[in-house]
Every structure is written in structure tokens, then in C-alpha cells.
Amino acid sequence: MKRRNFLELSALGFGGLMMPSIPVFGDIIAPERALEQVDPALKKRLADVALNAAKSKGASYADVRIGRYLQQYIFTREQQVQNIVNAESYGVGVRVLANGTWGFAATSDVTDKGIAKAAEQAVSIAKANAKLQKEPVQLAPVQSYGEVSWRTPLEKNAFEVPVGEKAELLLAANAKATENGANFVNSALFQVNEQKYFASTEGSYIDQDVHRIWPNFTVTAVDKATGKFRTRDALSSPMGMGYEYMIPKAAEKIKGPEGTGLVGYRNAYDILEDAALAAKQAKAKLTAKSVMAGKYDLVLDPNHLGLTIHESVGHATELDRVLGYEANYAGTSFATLDKWKGKNFKYGSDKVNIIADKTQKGSLGYVGWDDEGVKTKQWDLIKNGVLVNYSTIRDQAHIIGERASSGCCYADSWSSVQFLRMPNVSLAPGKEKKTVDQLISGIDRGIYIAGRGSYSIDQQRYNFQFGGQTFHEIKGGKIVGMLEDVAYQSNTQEFWNSCADMCDESDYRLFGTFFDGKGQPSQISAVSHGSATTRFNGVNVINTARKI
């Protein structure tokens, strides 16, 4: 099996991305190899080797994932390409139930012999651990789908675009930032393709080809005289799309609030336009007014609100966390079973409708089937403010009386064991027609926040603190200027109950997180969160300026 390598982003100058390192799986390959596919007939034959070997050793259930995971990451700074990572990881993971206990083993030896050996290992691990099992694992029923396939709907496979062309686009964005006053700019393009084949003893053979893309940058402005520096990150979103996301389209741009110059990007990004604005805003942040701490009405852009949804609703409604499986690392959840059973726990105001959806086009979590062969769907987590459901996988669904899993099982590699990962979790837009300027016009004292900044939440998802990329002061219904040193602190239930109003569907867009971490050993996952611009009343804002 392969141990991950980690790219130290801080060493590449990506301080602003708030991620110390990102994993790179597998071997370095030539870019052209990413376009090759493994023959599904071969994968079916190999899958049967695993399933038969597991059954013959005494497994009551087995599934096998034959995975080819491709990554192409391009990193630049100013007018220089720093690093291009082309990596491929190919192997097989076998998961079995024997004596009522899970066992898992994986191998990069993709031959009949190697796969059979991994299946045997998985069975022997299951049998060894069975002595510590109190109750046998129960799997929710799943349909047998036979031989099926699914592919991310895309117009242009990003891996088909020459590396040089993509690097040129990043360098052009860097140039735009520099022209507009940036002292430094780091940019990156992350592209991922998961070619995964799932088969189980339930009779499904599922071939999927999943694509994701994320352009990003951090622009830095330095005032040498004072020694002050400020950054502004890209307002792009990672998407479950091809290279078409990188081609600007007027119809996919949503005008930001009057007086901010900001643009919301729906299904197409304009990296040159955003880089130019980012440089201007990073410079403006050097002299922006420092916020006065206190209560403000917040107007949160979808590109910011997505992370708040992710942390305070997405993770809190993962059933494995509710049940204590993640207690030693990510933690548990305040959204306990009694709150769900009561059917009257007011998670948020009546306006809050939170939807889980693994079938949303363009989203990072969109697949045909999850990593244990469950067909994906859409369902409600919070209805008119009330907690109504969780995200589940097959071995936990029965605990909340569900007959079927909601399809949230995922592994980040063939060598990782699949477990519960949150689906796309999104806030439904308002039904009443409303633009962002109309939303702001009703606010006397408020702050408009865009972009993903600092974020932190406790291990049960009560108390959180969020920053952002840009902060604009609202006075008398209008944006009056930029603010700095802003972070807001709240409690999940209090915050969602302060949700007062939101824009309509025409303002709705997806935010995404590309490297969400969970589990031990830690695995990553990519997931989207949609919303329209939303207003929250009377939220506690702190001033984060300090002197050292």
C-alpha cells in the first residue's frame, strides 16, 4: 500500500489558503497517461476474483473497489511555474464482513494473485477483530444494479487541455494581479479524476468516472513603510466540472452588491477579472477601517456561507459523528438522536431549509452511486427550521430506523477504507424575488462578507468563529466602504435561528471545499454547499487586530 506524500502549501507561499499541506497519492506520470482508461471487462473479471476469494474464506459480504486516481496540480508564483504534479494511483481495496465484523485490505498488485491475497487478508483481519465486536454489523438492504456506469457531466475534460496552456492562464492571472498592485501572487489549478469500479456480493458492478476542478490564488499586498501586509484569495469555487468552468461566461456572472465591485461566479469562473479585483482589494485592505466590535446584521455571500453550512450543519448531521465513531478526532455532534426523534428541535428559523443532495449537477459530491453501491438521491436534513434527518451509510442506517442508506459512503483512495462523508448540503434559496441590493437596503447597521477566511468550530459543532476574504460595512441600507479585522462568533442553533431573509434562486450558487479532512488515518473528501446570499440578524462580531 502507498503512504501519502504531502505537498507543503506554506512552502509554496499559499499562506492564505489556510491548509498546511495537501495529500498527493501515487506515482508521478506523464500527463497523457491520464487519458487512458482501464477496460471495464477486465475490471469486472478482477472484481469477481476478489469477491470469490472473500466468500471462499468465509466472508458473508464483500465489496471491492478497483480505483485509478489521477491528480494534476499546477502551482505558480508571479511569472514562474513552481511545481506541476501529475500523479496516478492504481490499486484495489477489498472490504469484507466475516463473523459479523469488518475487515479491510488493499494492494497495488492488481493481478489475480494480488487481489485474492488482499481479500484473504481482509477476512483474516475481520476474524481477528471479531473478539472485540459486541454486536454483529447490520447492513441496510441495497438493490442489485447489475452492470452500470456513470460519468460527471462535462464539456471538456481538464486533463485533455495541455499543461502549458493551463500554466499560461495562471501566469496571466498573476500578471493581472501584479498590474493592479499586488506585491506577490501565488496561483494553483487542482484537477482530479477518479476512475473507480465498485462491485459487491449484492450483485452490482458500477463503473464511474468522476471529475473535479479548482482554480485558486492568494494575492498579497505589502506596505513596506509600515510593515503591514494583507492577502485576498480567489472567489472561485471548486466544482464537479471539466475545464469549461475556466472559460468565462457573462450569463454565469452575478453582480455583487453596489459599491463592492464583486462578482459571483456560478458555473463559469473568470480568473483574470477576479485576480485584478483581488489585487485592488488586497491593497485597499491595508488601509481599510478596523471594525468596531459588537452586534451586526450579517449579509453572507454564498462563497462565504458555504463553509458555515459545511461546519455547522454538514458535519453536525453526519450520523457516525452523532453515534461517537469520530470522538477521538473530529468529535461528536450536538444534533443528538433525541433532538431528531422529538421532531421539534428548532435548528433554525422557519426560513431555514437545508437539503442534502448527491445528485446536484456541477457539485463536487455528485456521483451515480456511492462507494458501497447505494444509488444517490436528494433528501431533507432541516425542514422549516426543524431537524428531520441525518446523512447515513449502510451499517448505520438501521440505528435511526431507516431501511436504506442515504448513499454517503466514500473513500479517498483504493487504499483507504470507505466511511461516512457528508453529501452536498445546501440552504434552499428564498421563494420571494429578491436581489442582494434589495436584501442590503433593509439593513441599518451591518457587514457584507464574501469569501472563505479563517474558520473554527468546536468538536460538537456548537460554537464557531468565521472570518472572510472581504468585509464591507453596511450603513442605512447601503455599502459604505471596506472593513478589516472582522470575525464573527456564534452558536449554531442561535445563528441559524437568526436567519432573517435571503435572495431568490437567481442568486443561488455553489461553494465547495476540495480537501475536507476526517477520520484516522485522515482522508480527504470534496463537497459542495449551495445557497443564495442570506441575512442573519444581530450576530456577534469581534475585532481581530493585535500588536506583537
Residues 452-471 contacting another protein, CB under 8 A:
454-463, 465, 467
517-536 binders of another protein (CB under 8 A): 520-521
Site membership for another protein, residue 133 (CB under 8 A) = yes
Q: In terms of CB distance, is 99 or 152 closer to another protein?
A: 99
CA contacts within 13 A on the Cβ side of 186: 16
Least Å distance, CB 287 to another protein, is 14
Instruction: Output the CA torsion 17→23→24→25 (10° steps).
Output: -150
Q: Among 62, 210, 307, 487, which residue interacts with another protein (rule: CB under 8 A)? A: 487
C-alpha cell at 362: 456541477
Q: In terms of CB distance, is 13 or 423 closer to another protein?
A: 13
104-123 binders of another protein (CB under 8 A): 104-106, 108
CA dist 226 and 474 (Å) reads 28
Q: In terms of CB distance, is 297 or 326 closer to another protein?
A: 326
3-state secondary structure of 412: coil
Q: Among 332, 396, 406, 525, which residue interacts with another protein (rule: CB under 8 A)? A: 332
C-alpha cell at 185: 501572487
CA dist 545 and 57 (Å) reads 63
| Number of Cβ within a 10 Å radius of residue 123 | 25
**8 A C-beta contact, residue 373 and residue 65:** no
339-398 binders of another protein (CB under 8 A): none
CA dist 107 and 357 (Å) reads 32
Number of residues that bind another protein (CB under 8 A): 79
| Number of Cβ within a 10 Å radius of residue 507 | 23
Q: In terms of CB distance, is 41 or 548 closer to another protein?
A: 548
3-state secondary structure of 167: helix
Per CB under 8 A, the segment of 240-248, 346-354, 370-378, 540-548 that binds another protein is 540-548
CA dist 375 and 507 (Å) reads 30
C-alpha cell at 535: 441575512
Least Å distance, CB 491 to another protein, is 7
Q: In terms of CB distance, is 53 or 154 closer to another protein?
A: 53
Per CB under 8 A, the segment of 62-70, 99-107, 296-304, 371-379 that binds another protein is 99-107
Least Å distance, CB 456 to another protein, is 4
Q: Among 441, 489, 498, 537, which residue interacts with another protein (rule: CB under 8 A)? A: 489
> Mind giving me the DSSP string for 43-92?
HHHHHHHHHHHHHHTT-SEEEEEEEEEEEEEEEEETTEEEEEEEEEEEEE
**8 A C-beta contact, residue 342 and residue 348:** no
Per CB under 8 A, the segment of 34-42, 217-225, 241-249, 359-367 that binds another protein is 217-225
The interface mask with another protein, positions 253-292, x = CB under 8 A, is ----------------------------------------
CA dist 314 and 355 (Å) reads 10
DSSP code of residue 304: H
Q: In terms of CB distance, is 17 or 254 closer to another protein?
A: 17
Q: In terms of CB distance, is 403 or 547 closer to another protein?
A: 547
**8 A C-beta contact, residue 31 and residue 193:** no
What is the helix, strand, coil percentage profile of the chain, to 5? 25, 40, 35
Q: In terms of CB distance, is 162 or 401 closer to another protein?
A: 162
CA dist 169 and 115 (Å) reads 42
Q: In terms of CB distance, is 222 or 404 closer to another protein?
A: 222
Q: Among 7, 38, 125, 272, which residue interacts with another protein (rule: CB under 8 A)? A: 125
Q: Among 52, 183, 349, 438, which residue interacts with another protein (rule: CB under 8 A)? A: 183
Q: Among 39, 41, 134, 476, which residue interacts with another protein (rule: CB under 8 A)? A: 134
The interface mask with another protein, positions 48-87, x = CB under 8 A, is --------------------------------xx------
Which of 233, 284, 219 is closest to 511 using CA atoms?
233
Per CB under 8 A, the segment of 36-44, 201-209, 261-269, 448-456 that binds another protein is 448-456
Site membership for another protein, residue 7 (CB under 8 A) = no
Site membership for another protein, residue 231 (CB under 8 A) = yes
Q: In terms of CB distance, is 336 or 378 closer to another protein?
A: 336
Site membership for another protein, residue 229 (CB under 8 A) = yes
Q: Among 136, 153, 324, 481, which residue interacts with another protein (rule: CB under 8 A)? A: 324
Rg (C-alpha) for the chain, rounded Å, is 24
Site membership for another protein, residue 44 (CB under 8 A) = no
DSSP code of residue 293: P
Q: In terms of CB distance, is 304 or 461 closer to another protein?
A: 461
C-alpha cell at 217: 490564488
Length of the chain, please? 548
**8 A C-beta contact, residue 367 and residue 150:** yes
| Number of Cβ within a 10 Å radius of residue 378 | 14
Q: In terms of CB distance, is 77 or 211 closer to another protein?
A: 77
C-alpha cell at 476: 442605512
Q: In terms of CB distance, is 1 or 35 closer to another protein?
A: 1
CA dist 39 and 37 (Å) reads 6
408-437 binders of another protein (CB under 8 A): 415, 417, 419
